[in-house]
Amino acid sequence: MDLQKNITDATTEIFETMIMMEITPGDPLKELVTTFHHTVSGMVGLAGTFKGLLAIHTPNDVAKAITSNFLGLDVGDIDDDVKDAIGELANMLAGNIKQAIDTTGKDVTLSIPSAVHGEEYTLNCLANAEWMIMPFTTPSGEFLVELQFEKA
């Protein structure tokens, strides 16, 4: 299972198809990131034969640019529309990446997406999980796509 390729392909397809924004993938991070500043994080939990978390972490300016392109309207502040859009983005990423780790489609269940936003917050998932964090560059800045999982 090539997680780097799966995350890159899923993220690129979603941004090309529905957000109409050019993104450039970078190299996977070598250290886990758990603290975020002025960011919106969208998250979907995984349960079943694989358990864990799929998250996208978008700095405020990137979150507003994504939402603006997604909905075709001007976005001023981080509001419920922005959090809903980033949560839905996490949902689409999770659904696409799930297909790579759960080929039958019935061994992993996805949670309802959620989103958090704040000046500073910390996210912790599984203590001993495998993880992959991929950075992507947009015209508005960089965002991260994170997958943490372990076999149940």
Name the residues that contact other proteins, by CB under 8 A: 13-14, 17-18, 67, 70-72, 80-81, 84-85, 87-88, 91-92, 94-96, 98-99, 104-106, 110, 112-113
Helix (H) or strand (E) holding 80: helix 80-101
Report the interhelical angle of 60-71 vs 80-101 (nearest 10°): 90
Does the CA dihedral 117-146-75-138 come out positive or negative?
positive
- What tokens does 4 get? 């780097």
User: From the CB of 2, what's the least distance to other proteins, in Å?
Assistant: 20
DSSP letter for 17, please. Answer: I
Long-range pairs of 69-78 with CB within 8 A, sequence gap ≥ 24: 69/19, 69/20, 69/21, 70/18, 70/19, 78/40, 78/117
Output 12 or 33, the one with its CB closest to other proteins. 12
User: From the CB of 4, what's the least distance to other proteins, in Å?
Assistant: 20
CB-CB contact of 125 with 39 (8 Å) = no
User: From the CB of 42, what's the least distance to other proteins, in Å?
Assistant: 11
